[in-house]
């Protein structure tokens, strides 16, 4: 049985999204379109995923099932599974097969109460920078959220001794590995993140947000920054020392600006996938999203 909703007044869970609370129905609509957006922008192919925290029950999160699973192909609430944050086990019985990497999502939601959305990608524009051991520092104003030194990198090899039976396929397929990834989002070890992206050596990256547009924006503009950085390095003859990155203050200022303008990008991205026949959203195209924008006090 795919995603359901069981209210305190009903004995049996309902699969009819028309009976879902509007917050949950809206979240599923947006999650389906966000899957499509990530595919449209080349961040995911058959692999990679995005989840949201269940707006009705903060101890649950919603993620696509393995089949159809590919983000371009999800189209209805039937394609998703509701999991408990505490252990990444399905909330309802008789669920279809889920992703082995769901612990990425569960352990991040468990550690960081403010996180509402998690994106995981194997972006081919990002992975070469880890392979070449080059930091992904921001080279333009749309990527200030990366921080002046760029995102931290998770190297799983340090965890191998604690997992003698682990087959090193680089997947985050246990709670322990999910916790290793989640820890990387906080330098201080607290439950407040100070990084919005963690790069995963020999694998990809994970981005987080306090809403869908933040997590998706960070994924898309991390990838754009990597493409620009690669171009800049090419023009500079491969010399990293010649690259002009954002300064600390610029990165901080741009990170604030990035937060205020993401809603504009999301409306464009939603329209792009709505008119593309590859993508189907049977729950309805999200509309009436909040309008943000820059304040005039700068």
274: Cα separation from own chain's centroid: 20
CA distance 74 to 43: 16
CA distance 255 to 250: 8
Residue ranges of alpha helices (H) inside 70-142 are 102-111, 127-131
CA distance 222 to 35: 17
Residues 6+ apart with CB under 8 A from 232: 139, 243, 244
Catalytic residues: 101
User: Residue 255 to residues 117, 121, 144, 218: CA-CA distances in angstroms?
Assistant: 18, 21, 4, 10
């Amino acid at each position: 049985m795919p995603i359901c909703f069981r209210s305190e007044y009903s004995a049996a869970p309902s699969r009819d999204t028309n009976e879902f609370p509007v917050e949950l129905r809206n979240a599923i609509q947006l999650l389906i379109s966000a899957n499509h957006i990530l595919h449209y922008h080349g961040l995911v192919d058959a692999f990679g995923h995005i989840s949201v925290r269940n707006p009705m029950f903060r101890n649950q999160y919603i993620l696509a099932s393995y089949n159809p699973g590919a983000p371009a192909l999800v189209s209805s609430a039937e394609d998703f599974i509701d999991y408990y944050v505490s252990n990444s086990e399905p909330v309802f019985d008789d669920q279809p097969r889920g992703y082995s990497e769901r612990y990425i999502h569960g352990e991040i939601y468990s550690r960081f109460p403010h996180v509402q959305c998690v994106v995981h990608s194997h972006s081919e524009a990002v992975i070469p920078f880890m392979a070449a051991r080059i930091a992904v520092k921001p080279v333009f104003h749309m990527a200030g959220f990366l921080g002046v030194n760029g995102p931290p990198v998770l190297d799983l090899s340090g965890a191998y001794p604690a997992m003698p039976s682990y087959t090193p396929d680089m997947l985050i397929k246990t709670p322990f590995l999910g916790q290793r990834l989640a820890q990387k989002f906080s330098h201080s070890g607290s439950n407040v993140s100070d990084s919005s992206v963690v790069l995963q050596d020999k694998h990809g990256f994970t981005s987080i947000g306090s809403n869908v547009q933040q997590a998706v924006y960070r994924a898309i503009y991390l990838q754009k920054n990597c493409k620009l950085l690669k171009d800049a390095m090419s023009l500079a003859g491969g010399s990293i020392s010649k690259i002009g990155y954002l300064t600390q203050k610029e990165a901080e200022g741009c990170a604030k600006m990035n937060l205020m303008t993401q809603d504009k990008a999301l409306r464009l991205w939603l329209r792009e996938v709505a008119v593309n026949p590859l993508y189907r959203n049977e729950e309805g195209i999200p509309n009436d999203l909040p309008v943000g924008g820059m304040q005039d006090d700068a």
